[in-house]
C-alpha cells in the first residue's frame, strides 16, 4: 500500500462528506477503534467530524460514510500488519485542500472504555443470564414444565466452569432441568451440550472480568446461584447469591463498590 495515496483518498472522502457550510473552515475528523483492529468485528471504527476546537460535532453527508470507514480500516490493518498498531487517528482538513494525519495509541481511553463496559457487564450479568435462560436456553431444550423457580448453579472449580440447572416444582421438589430419561435422542443431547457450552463460557467470562479489570472493586468468588422466577425478573437481594468456597458473600453484588450509572464510574464502599 502507498500510504500517502491512501491518506489522500481518505481525506478526499472526508472532505466530500462535509456539508456546504463547513467546506471553508478547519475540520477535525476524529477516528477511534479498539486495541487491535484486526481482532474487531463489524463496524469497528467510530468517526466524528468536529470544528477546529474539537468541541462541536458537525453534521455530515450520509452517502460518503462507507468510503472513509473502509479506507481507514484498510489503512489501520495495513499499519498493524507492519508493526504499527494505532487506536486513534486525527485528520485535520484545511480550507486550502491540504490535510494532516496524526496517529497514536490511546491506552487511557481504551482502559476507561473497557472498565466501564466490564463494570456494567459484571453487575448486570445475573439479570442477562436469567433473561437468556428463559428466552433461549429453555426453549432450545424444549423445557415446558411448570416451575416456581429455575435454580442456576454456576461455579468455577479447579479453574474450570461447572454448570448445574434444576427447577423447583409446585410441590417444592427440586428436579433436574435436563431429562435424559425421557429424551434419548441425539438432537436433545446436542441442544443440552450447546446450552452448557454457552453457560460455561459466560460464567468464565464473568469470573475473569471480576477477578481481572474489576478486581479492585469486586470481592473474590467462585460460585453464583441464581434463582430465576417464571417472570425472569430477579430480586437482587433474594435471587442472586455469590459464594467463595461455599461461604455466602455480601448481598451488594458481592462487590466492594457501587457503579454510579449517572457518573459512569465506580465508587468504593467506605
Instruction: Name the residue ranges covered by the structural domains of the chain.
Output: 3-105, 111-259
Q: Apex CA 190: angle with CA 151 and CA 142, to 5°?
A: 55
pLDDT at 254: 52
Residue located via cell numbers 433473561 = 131
Q: Do domains 3-105 and 111-259 have the same CATH topology?
A: yes
pLDDT at 69: 85
Q: What CA–CA distance (Å, rounded) separates 107 from 104?
A: 9
Nearest in space to 73 (alpha carbons), one of 38, 114, 28 = 38
The residues facing 93 across adjacent strands are 27, 99
Q: Are 90 and 113 in contact (CB under 8 A)?
A: no
* CA-based torsion, 199, 205, 208, 214: positive or negative: negative
pLDDT along the chain (270 residues), means of 10: 92 88 90 90 83 85 77 93 95 94 96 88 92 93 90 95 92 87 81 94 95 88 95 88 89 57 54
pLDDT at 90: 96
Q: Which three cell numbers stand for residue 252?
A: 451488594
- Give pairs for 170-178: CB < 8 Å, separation 24+: 170/146, 172/148, 175/145, 177/138, 177/141, 177/143, 177/150, 178/141
CA distances from 74 to 3, 7, 33, 64, 134 (A): 10, 11, 13, 16, 41
* CA-based torsion, 117, 239, 219, 243: positive or negative: negative
Its pTM stands at 0.77
Q: Looking at 73-146, which runs of residues are DSSP E strands? A: 88-93, 99-104
pLDDT per position as a tens digit, 215-252: 888 889 999 999 999 999 998 888 999 999 989 887 66
Using DSSP, state whether 131 is helix, strand or coil.
helix
As a whole number of Å, the end-to-end CA separation of the chain is 55
Q: At what angle do helices 3-16 and 65-81 cross, to 10 degrees?
A: 160
Q: What CA–CA distance (Å, rounded) separates 158 from 253?
A: 23
Nearest in space to 115 (alpha carbons), one of 221, 44, 216, 262 = 216
Taking the domain 3-105, which CATH number applies? 3.30.500
Say yes or no: domain 111-259 is CATH 3.40.50.300: no
Q: At what angle do helices 186-210 and 107-132 cross, to 10 degrees?
A: 140
91, burial (CB in 10 Å: exposed 0-12, middle 13-18, buried 19+): buried
Residue located via cell numbers 438432537 = 187
pLDDT per position as a tens digit, 173-212: 899 999 877 777 788 889 999 999 999 999 999 999 999 9
Amino acid at each position: 500500500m502507498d500510504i500517502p495515496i491512501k491518506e489522500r483518498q481518505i481525506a478526499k472522502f472526508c472532505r466530500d462528506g462535509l456539508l456546504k457550510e463547513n467546506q471553508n473552515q478547519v475540520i477535525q475528523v476524529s477516528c477511534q477503534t479498539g486495541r487491535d483492529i484486526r481482532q474487531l468485528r463489524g463496524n469497528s471504527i467510530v468517526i466524528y467530524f468536529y470544528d477546529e476546537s474539537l468541541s462541536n460535532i458537525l453534521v455530515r453527508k450520509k452517502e460518503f460514510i462507507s468510503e472513509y470507514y473502509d479506507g481507514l480500516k484498510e489503512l489501520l490493518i495495513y499499519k498493524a500488519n507492519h508493526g504499527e498498531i494505532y487506536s486513534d487517528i486525527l485528520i485535520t482538513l484545511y480550507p486550502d485542500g491540504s490535510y494532516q494525519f496524526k496517529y497514536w495509541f490511546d491506552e487511557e481511553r481504551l482502559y476507561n472504555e473497557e472498565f466501564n463496559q466490564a463494570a456494567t457487564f459484571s453487575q448486570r450479568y445475573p439479570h442477562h443470564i436469567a433473561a437468556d435462560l428463559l428466552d433461549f436456553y429453555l426453549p432450545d431444550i424444549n423445557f415446558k414444565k411448570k416451575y416456581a423457580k429455575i435454580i442456576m448453579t454456576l461455579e468455577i472449580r479447579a479453574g474450570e466452569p461447572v454448570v448445574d440447572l434444576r427447577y423447583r416444582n409446585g410441590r417444592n421438589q427440586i428436579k433436574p432441568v435436563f431429562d435424559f430419561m425421557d429424551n434419548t435422542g441425539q438432537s436433545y443431547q446436542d441442544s443440552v451440550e450447546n446450552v452448557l457450552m454457552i453457560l460455561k463460557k459466560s460464567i468464565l467470562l464473568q469470573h475473569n472480568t471480576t477477578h481481572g479489570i474489576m478486581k479492585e472493586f469486586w470481592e473474590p468468588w467462585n460460585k453464583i446461584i441464581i434463582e430465576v422466577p417464571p417472570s425472569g425478573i430477579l430480586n437482587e437481594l433474594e435471587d442472586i447469591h455469590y459464594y467463595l468456597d461455599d461461604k455466602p458473600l455480601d448481598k451488594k453484588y458481592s462487590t466492594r463498590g457501587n457503579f454510579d450509572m449517572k457518573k459512569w464510574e465506580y465508587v468504593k464502599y467506605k
